């Protein structure tokens, strides 16, 4: 396996995901296979090649800093799993 | 001929000339949906009430002598990852099963300004990750040509709907082939425009440097009409390109005399199905007989597109999908004892396996120690693939390759090994990596009667040449006229 079970566990933590023992095993196998597949690129000579982030020749895109109407607060809050007093409610984070 | 079987251009013309009413069109399409949808399951949501309300208003305006737009009264189905104001947009995920956007994607605004009527939202692989629509958390869409087989994906619902006449046209999104591959599996036309030609504002992000919205239609002419409507610079999408507006209908010409068609024989020699290969070769002959010049080209790095894609796309996905944390919208877990547990449980419950796999892989290739070996290297190989295409287009106008190495497969056939499913995208992925436009046009049938797609690729922002070649091919082969029996 090119990716270890411990690594998968660590990546899961970074990804904010949780897996059962069986799932961990399956993901270790799947990720190893995919990483092996991605290793095909390792043999290519990319010395001096510039990386491409996307194909358009644009850097920063600026626009005038004008005030415009935004979306309505109550509309936005309709999709919140929990809301009160015009705010999204979340569990207490500071004791 | 039933109204539901007409093309966009025919419906728009008949409505404009008062030969038929908009209500009659909707009646015909919704009746058809009532008869066929149960078997095919292409839709996640139907928007019948809104559609009829809109039809009444558009008809009034038309009757008052107003111009209601080039798609005036034409029904359209929308892939469920494109935000529609007041209509659920689920991405076929448990994470967004109750998400109702409060704004329209730019493409939706443009369609409505052109007079189109949204009749429903279509099923897809969860968050557009997949090649069979089997990754939908909501339902299983079947291929209208054989209900035991997949419609392709991720825009499987859109392709199936157009194929069996329960939508005259549809929008899909294409990150690695998600418009062209299902179009090929279902015998419809699927166009992925140049990256940046169509605004992505309001389209749920999967891999932002690759995603692009495009039409699925019954003809190349219809694809040109829809592209006319949805293309254009949008200040809400900073990656939308500032290029002069074009009329793509001008490309609808039956003429390819002297056009140079590039064929990368070496790239397509491995793992291709015999029937697909045979159809492809016959199609090249047809193009030659029509006066095109077939030119051998080399795409040395194209075979590295898939690993490059699975590094870049998953890296971008792992970042894009970080927003689903159970806080502002989307699924929130019921039981949690801390904020961190809320995040973890909400995400673990809300995402399906393929989405988790891609988030994990993306996190892996971006993590310290692997970033240079995978992500950075992937971006460099991307440059090599782009240069490959640039060189090829010095010798030809349009490249022709099959859309997929195989035709539609049976449910469950490729679900146990994710890598096997990924390999289905081998001919479509290079186009996204290089940001080019590509179109899949019906190109024949295999020995089981399943559709085969013919793919054309052109230079960036050269949809004119692309559409002209595709149109001429379609006009002189007529594979798109054959319909499934459902």
Ranges A60-74, B61-75, B393-407: which has the least confidence: A60-74
pLDDT value of residue B180 = 98
Beta-carbon separation of B310 and A37 below 8 A: yes
In this complex, the residue of B99, B327, B374 whose CB is nearest that of residue A38 is B374
The answer to whether residue B223 scores a pLDDT higher than 80 is yes
Q: What is the DSSP letter of B155?
A: S
- Give ipTM to 2 decimals: 0.95
Tell me the HSE value of B408 on the side-chain side, using a 13 A CA sphere. Answer: 33
Helix axes B8-16, B220-230, angle to 10 degrees: 70
| pLDDT(A94) > 80 | no
Query: How close A3 comes to chain B (CA, Å)?
Result: 10
Please answer yes or no on whether A55 and B195 come within 8 Å at the CB atom. yes
CATH number, domain B3-261+396-481: 3.90.1300.10
Which residues touch B291 (CB under 8 Å, ≥6 apart)? Answer: B255, B256, B257, B258, B259
* Residue from B96, B342, B363, B415 to probe the interface with A (highest A Cβ count within 10 Å): B363
- Asked if the structure places residue A36 within a domain, the reply is yes
Confidence check: pLDDT of A16 > 80: yes
pLDDT in tens, B125-170: 999 999 999 999 999 999 999 999 999 999 999 999 999 999 999 9
Closest CA to B206 of B153, B252, B165: B153
- Taking contacts as CB-CB distances below 8 angstroms, the residues of chain A near B307 are 37-41
Residues of B within 8 A of A75 (CB-CB) are 102
Name the residue in chain A with its Cα closest to that of B96.
A79
CB distance B363–A8 less than 8 Å? no
A35, A55, A83: best to mutate for the B interface, most B CBs within 10 A: A55
Give the tokens for residue B147. Answer: 């209900």
Which residue in B98, B336, B418 is closest to A30 by CB distance?
Answer: B418
Inspect the interface and report whether the beta carbons of B379 and A51 lie closer than 8 Å: yes
Using a CB-CB cut-off of 8 Å, the residues of chain B touching A63 are 235
Cβ contact (<8 Å) for A56 and B195?
yes
Q: Which of A38, A36, A55 is nearest to B305 (CA)?
A: A38
Torsion, Cα B144 B149 B151 B153, to 10 degrees, reads: 170
> Residue A61: which pLDDT band, with cuts at 50, 70 and 90?
confident
Q: Is the dihedral of CA A37, B81, B216, B156 positive or negative?
A: positive
* Inside any domain, residue A13: yes
Bridge partners (DSSP) listed for residue B203 = B82
Answer whether residue A1 shows pLDDT above 80: no
B482 CA: distance to closest CA in chain A (Å): 37
B463-477 helix and B220-230 helix, angle to the nearest 10 degrees: 160
Indicate the pLDDT class of residue A95, thresholds 50, 70 and 90.
Answer: low
Which residues have C-beta within 8 Å of that of residue B31, sequence separation ≥ 6? B4
Residue B423 has pLDDT above 80, yes or no: yes
Query: Per the structure, how many domains does chain A have?
Result: 1
Average pLDDT, chain B: 97
Of B102, B361, B460, the CB nearest to A34: B361
- Residues of A within 8 A of B426 (CB-CB) are none
Domain boundaries, chain B: 3-261+396-481
In a domain, residue A59? The reply is no
- For residue range A27-47, list pLDDT tens digits in order: 999 999 999 999 999 999 999
What is the count of residue pairs from A and B with beta carbons less than 8 Å apart?
Answer: 158
Minimum Cα–Cα distance from A79: chain B residue: B329
Return the percentage of chain B with pLDDT > 70, whole number. 100
Determine, for residues A8 and B360 on separate chains, whether the beta-carbon distance falls below 8 Å.
Answer: yes
Shortest Cα distance, chain A CAs vs residue B459, angstroms: 12
Question: What is the model's pLDDT at position B271?
Answer: 87
Q: Minimal Cα–Cα distance from B423 to chain A, Å?
A: 11
Write out the catalytic residue numbers of B. 79, 154, 178
Instruction: Read off the pLDDT of residues B40-55 as tens digits, 9 standing for 90 and up.
Output: 999 999 999 999 999 9
The answer to whether the CB of B32 falls within 8 A of the CB of B484 is no
Domain assignment of residue A9, yes or no: yes
Cβ–Cβ gap A34/B310 under 8 Å: yes
Q: Give pTM, 2 decimals.
A: 0.97
Residues of B whose CB is below 8 A from A12: 360
**Reading across the β-sheet that carries B213-217, which strands appear in turn?**
B43-46, B117-122, B75-79, B169-173, B213-217, B189-192, B438-445, B451-458, B398-402, B260-263, B293-296
pLDDT at residue B250 above 90?
yes
Pairing of strands B398-402, B260-263: parallel
Contact criterion met (CB < 8 Å) for A46 and B380 = yes
- State residue B426's pLDDT score: 96
Rounded to 5 degrees, what angle do the CA atoms A32, B432, A14 make?
40
Do A58 and B239 lie within an 8 Å CB cutoff?
Answer: yes
- The domain of A27 spans 5-43
We report the CATH number of the domain holding residue A11 as: 1.10.20
Beta strand B117-122 pairing with B75-79:
parallel
CB contact under 8 A, B307 and A37: yes
pLDDT of residue B306: 96
CB A34 within 8 A of CB B356: no
pLDDT in tens, B400-416: 999 999 999 999 999 98
d(CA B213, CA B434): 16
Which residue of chain A is at minimal alpha-carbon distance from B243? Answer: A56
User: B389: which chain A residues are within 8 Å (Cβ-Cβ)?
Assistant: none
Rounded distance, CA B179 to CA B213, Å? 9
pLDDT at A93 (0 to 100): 79
∠ CA A12-A16-A22, nearest 5°, is 40
Of B241, B377, B418, nearest to A41 by CB-CB distance is B377
pLDDT tens string B276-334: 999 999 999 999 999 999 999 999 999 999 999 999 999 999 999 999 999 999 999 99
Query: Is residue A55 scored above 90 in pLDDT?
Result: no
């Amino acid at each position: 396996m090119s990716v270890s079970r411990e690594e998968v566990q660590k990546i899961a933590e970074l990804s904010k995901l949780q897996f059962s023992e069986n799932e961990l095993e399956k993901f270790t196998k799947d990720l190893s296979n995919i990483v092996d597949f991605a290793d095909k690129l390792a043999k290519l000579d990319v010395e001096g090649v510039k990386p491409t982030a996307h194909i358009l020749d644009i850097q920063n895109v600026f626009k005038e800093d004008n005030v415009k109407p935004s979306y309505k607060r109550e509309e936005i809050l309709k999709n919140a799993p929990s809301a009160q007093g015009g705010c999204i409610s979340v569990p207490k984070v500071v004791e | 001929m039933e109204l539901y079987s007409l093309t966009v251009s025919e419906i728009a013309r008949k409505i404009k000339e008062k030969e038929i009413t908009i209500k009659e069109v909707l009646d015909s399409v919704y009746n058809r949906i009532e008869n066929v949808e149960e078997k095919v399951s292409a839709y996640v949501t139907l928007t019948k009430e809104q559609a009829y309300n809109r039809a009444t208003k558009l008809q009034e305006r038309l009757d008052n002598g107003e111009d209601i737009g080039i798609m005036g009264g034409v029904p359209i189905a929308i892939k469920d990852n494109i935000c529609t104001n007041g209509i659920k947009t689920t991405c076929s995920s448990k994470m967004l099963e109750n998400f109702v956007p409060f704004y329209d994607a730019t493409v939706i605004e443009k369609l409505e300004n052109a007079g189109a009527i949204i009749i429903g939202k279509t099923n897809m692989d969860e968050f557009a990750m997949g090649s069979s629509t089997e990754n939908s958390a909501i339902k299983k869409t079947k291929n209208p040509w054989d209900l035991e087989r997949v419609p392709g994906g991720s825009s499987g619902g859109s392709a199936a709907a157009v194929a069996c006449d329960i939508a005259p046209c549809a929008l899909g999104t294409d990150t690695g082939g998600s418009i062209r591959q299902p179009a090929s599996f279902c015998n419809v036309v699927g166009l992925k425009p140049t990256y940046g030609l169509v605004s992505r504002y309001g389209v749920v992000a999967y891999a932002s440097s690759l995603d692009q919205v495009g039409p699925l239609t019954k003809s190349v002419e219809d694809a040109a009409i829809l592209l006319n409507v949805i293309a254009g610079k949008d200040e809400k999408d900073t990656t939308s390109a500032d290029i002069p507006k074009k009329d793509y209908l001008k490309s609808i010409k039956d003429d390819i005399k002297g056009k140079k068609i590039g064929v990368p024989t070496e790239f397509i020699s491995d793992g291709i199905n015999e029937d697909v290969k045979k159809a492809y070769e016959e199609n090249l002959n047809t193009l030659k007989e029509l006066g095109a010049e077939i030119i051998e080209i080399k795409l040395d790095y194209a075979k590295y597109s898939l690993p490059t894609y699975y590094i870049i796309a998953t890296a971008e996905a792992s970042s894009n999908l970080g927003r689903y944390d159970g806080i502002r919208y989307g699924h929130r877990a019921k039981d949690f004892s801390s904020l961190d547990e809320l995040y973890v449980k909400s995400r673990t419950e809300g995402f399906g396996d393929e989405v988790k796999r891609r988030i994990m892989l993306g996190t892996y290739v971006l993590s310290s120690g692997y970033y240079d070996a995978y992500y950075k290297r992937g971006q460099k190989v991307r440059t090599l693939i782009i240069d490959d295409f640039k060189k090829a287009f010095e010798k030809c106008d349009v490249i022709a390759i099959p859309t997929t190495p195989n035709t539609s497969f049976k449910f469950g056939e490729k679900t146990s090994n994710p890598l096997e499913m990924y390999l289905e995208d081998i001919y479509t992925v290079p186009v996204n990596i290089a940001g080019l436009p590509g179109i899949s046009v019906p190109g024949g049938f295999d020995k089981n009667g399943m559709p085969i797609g013919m793919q054309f690729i052109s230079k960036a922002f050269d949809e004119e040449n692309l559409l002209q070649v595709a149109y001429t091919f379609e006009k002189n082969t007529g594979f798109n006229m054959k319909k499934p029996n459902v």
